[in-house]
Amino acid sequence: MYIPTYEDMLAAHERIQPHIRRTPVRTSAYLNELTGAELFFKCENFQEPGAFKVRGASNAVFGLDEAQAAKGVATHSSGNHASCLSYAAMLRGIPCNVVMPRTAPQAKKDTVRRYGGRITECEPSTSSREESFAKVQAETGGDFVHPYNDHRVIAGQGTCAKEFVEQTDGLDMVVAPIGGGGMISGTCLTLSTLAPETQVIAAEPEQADDAYRSFKAGYIIADDAPKTIADGLLVPLKELTWHFVSNHVSAIYTASDAEIIDAMKLIWKHLRIVMEPSSAVPLATILKNKDAFAGKRVGLIVTGGNVDLDKLPWMNS
């Protein structure tokens, strides 16, 4: 298992800069007052494909040699990694094949197809996803770019924290959502060298809390098909992301779906930005655990904005 280094992250930033946006950081006096902390929101929902995952995907795609690139890339994803890998592949002019759960939001499927990705649908479980993917990869020979358990992807995701530190003049804590752990791992990778005094906190839905339970147990616990409105956080940790989580994460907090919806509404209203339920989990956990964050400079990574506007989570609540 190759563990990416800080130098890999710096090389990734150099490689991907022509293909990504240096996303803005937003603040809200109201949300600061509400939480008792000074909050900084890194708006990765403003990336062209709408999510931070364009960083890792671009690093993988533009790092391929010509022979590998000719066969294209392939992956399995609930949405944002699929969109971002399709986007990066489109920029390089190579094929991209994606296995997605049939229950993935239509908005995310539409985005994949808009960027030229070819979708194979599977049942909404990790086992079905991996079986379907094995068939697709055997047929296409594409380079497997795992959504998070890939050193190229983690190095790419780590570029977000590098920008964040530069844009905020230092933070006491950075809070990011955790599903498979790609963003958290990249954040750990960067901050452990660039700002070792900054704590890395993971935020997870209560209804898909396998990372929280893994963290407490000291080994990976994987759920096969959890259900939560935070559809980007349904996958379990893997060996590479577990390395970073177990060695560098200070705490994992959870929030209920109702708390996530409330936080999502607050961000839409007071930051006036579109973001998906997964991106609201950090604020939901801060509101639930105010004492842990009071008086601190806290960075929150708004991981994505690919939401189905016809099926917003509060429409049925």
Classify 50 in phi/psi space as left (phi over 0), alpha (psi -120 to 50) or beta. Answer: left
Is pLDDT above 70 for 129? Answer: yes
Query: Region 133-151: what's the mean pLDDT?
Result: 95
Is pLDDT above 70 for 316? Answer: no
Task: Name 26's bridge partners.
Answer: 41
**Do 40 and 64 belong to one domain?**
no
Following CA atoms 252, 255, 260, 262 in sequence, which dihedral angle do they give, to the nearest 10 degrees?
Answer: -120
Is pLDDT above 90 for 127? Answer: no
The pTM assigned to this predicted structure is 0.95
**Do 36 and 62 belong to one domain?**
no
Classify 314 in phi/psi space as left (phi over 0), alpha (psi -120 to 50) or beta. Answer: alpha
**Do 42 and 59 belong to one domain?**
no
Give the integer Cα–Cα distance in Å for 118 and 25: 33
**Do 112 and 261 belong to one domain?**
no
Is pLDDT above 60 for 317? Answer: no
Q: Pull the structure tokens for residue 158.
A: 């780590």
**Do 93 and 78 belong to one domain?**
yes
Please indicate, yes or no, if residue 200 is contained in any of the structural domains: yes
The total of other beta-carbon atoms located within 10 Å of residue 123's CB is 13
In the chain, the number of structural domains is: 2
**Do 202 and 286 belong to one domain?**
yes
**Do 77 and 128 belong to one domain?**
yes
Per-residue pLDDT band at 104 (split at 50, 70, 90): confident
Please indicate, yes or no, if residue 194 is contained in any of the structural domains: yes
**16-75 pLDDT, tens digit each:** 999 999 999 999 999 999 999 999 999 999 999 999 999 999 999 999 999 999 999 999
Residue 65: what pLDDT?
97
Give the integer Cα–Cα distance in Å for 275 and 268: 7
Q: Where does a domain end: 144, 168, 199?
A: 144
**Do 114 and 250 belong to one domain?**
no
Please indicate, yes or no, if residue 292 is contained in any of the structural domains: yes
121 in Cβ contact with 100 (< 8 Å)? yes
Please indicate, yes or no, if residue 1 is contained in any of the structural domains: no
Give the integer Cα–Cα distance in Å for 94 and 102: 25
Q: Where does a domain end: 144, 167, 185?
A: 144
**Do 174 and 308 belong to one domain?**
yes
Please indicate, yes or no, if residue 42 is contained in any of the structural domains: yes
**Do 118 and 248 belong to one domain?**
no
**Do 15 and 89 belong to one domain?**
no
CATH code of 293's domain: 3.40.50.1100
Please indicate, yes or no, if residue 258 is contained in any of the structural domains: yes
Percent of the chain scored above 70 by pLDDT?
99
Please indicate, yes or no, if residue 192 is contained in any of the structural domains: yes
State the chain's mean pLDDT as an integer. 95
Please indicate, yes or no, if residue 149 is contained in any of the structural domains: no
Q: For the ranges 15-29, 115-129, 250-264, which has the lowest average pLDDT?
A: 115-129
**Do 47 and 59 belong to one domain?**
no
Q: Where does a domain end: 110, 144, 178?
A: 144
Domain range enclosing 101: 54-144
Q: What are the residues whose beta carbons fall under 8 Å from the beta carbon of 79, sequence distance 6 or more?
A: 100, 104, 105, 108, 109, 111, 112, 231, 232, 306
